[in-house]
Amino acid sequence: MASLRKSFPIVARDFVHAGEASIHVQNILKSMHLEPALIRRIAICCYEGEMNAVIHGGNGQIHMDIEADRLALEIIDDGPGIEDIDRAMQPGYSTASEEAREMGFGAGMGLTNMKNHSDEIHIDSAPGQGTCVHMHFSFDGKKAVS
């Protein structure tokens, strides 16, 4: 079974270029002719994760693994980590900086959006240890990579 791995760097607090990697991901998925609704879900999760890492994290990476029947997205940053993951998952809860709020973020919907748009989400994080968000998207039997 062939799989395709793509990785993109994330630069902390680089609000000028933040989101470019996710648009790149969106374009790759469009060129693979995945279902538009699925592309939108993956792009939203990738973008929210990328913005979280830019806003809160240190530097990081996005890893996308496209397999025959599913896509795995991993967003890793070496930032301060999440103190209380359950609380961070609550819609409306945000610790975003003033700078991030000026860019239209800090609505406290980032992780909620990622949870709602992915088929599976798992967050590994602890204070001082950075954050890794894993997400899976099923293709429902439709083959994406041959």
- Contacting positions for other proteins (CB under 8 A): 15-16, 18-20, 22-23, 26, 36-37, 40, 43-44, 47-48, 51, 102-110, 112-113, 116
Q: How many CB atoms lie within 10 A of CB 135?
A: 24
Q: Identify which of residues 19 and 58 has a Cβ nearer to other proteins in the complex.
A: 19
Q: Identify which of residues 2 and 37 has a Cβ nearer to other proteins in the complex.
A: 37
Bridge-based pairing of strands 120-125 and 131-138 is: antiparallel
* 115, 43 Cβ separation under 8 angstroms: no
- Nearest approach in angstroms of CB 115 to other proteins is 11
- The C-alpha angle 9, 97, 131, rounded to 5 degrees, equals 45
- Beta carbons within 8 Å of 100's beta carbon, 6+ residues apart: 15, 51, 55, 106
Q: Identify which of residues 51 and 144 has a Cβ nearer to other proteins in the complex.
A: 51
Instruction: Tell me the sheet residues that pair with 13.
Output: none
- Nearest approach in angstroms of CB 64 to other proteins is 15
- Beta carbons within 8 Å of 40's beta carbon, 6+ residues apart: none
- Nearest approach in angstroms of CB 109 to other proteins is 4
- Nearest approach in angstroms of CB 128 to other proteins is 26
Q: Identify which of residues 20 and 69 has a Cβ nearer to other proteins in the complex.
A: 20
- Nearest approach in angstroms of CB 135 to other proteins is 14
Q: How many CB atoms lie within 10 A of CB 102?
A: 11
Q: Identify which of residues 20 and 84 has a Cβ nearer to other proteins in the complex.
A: 20
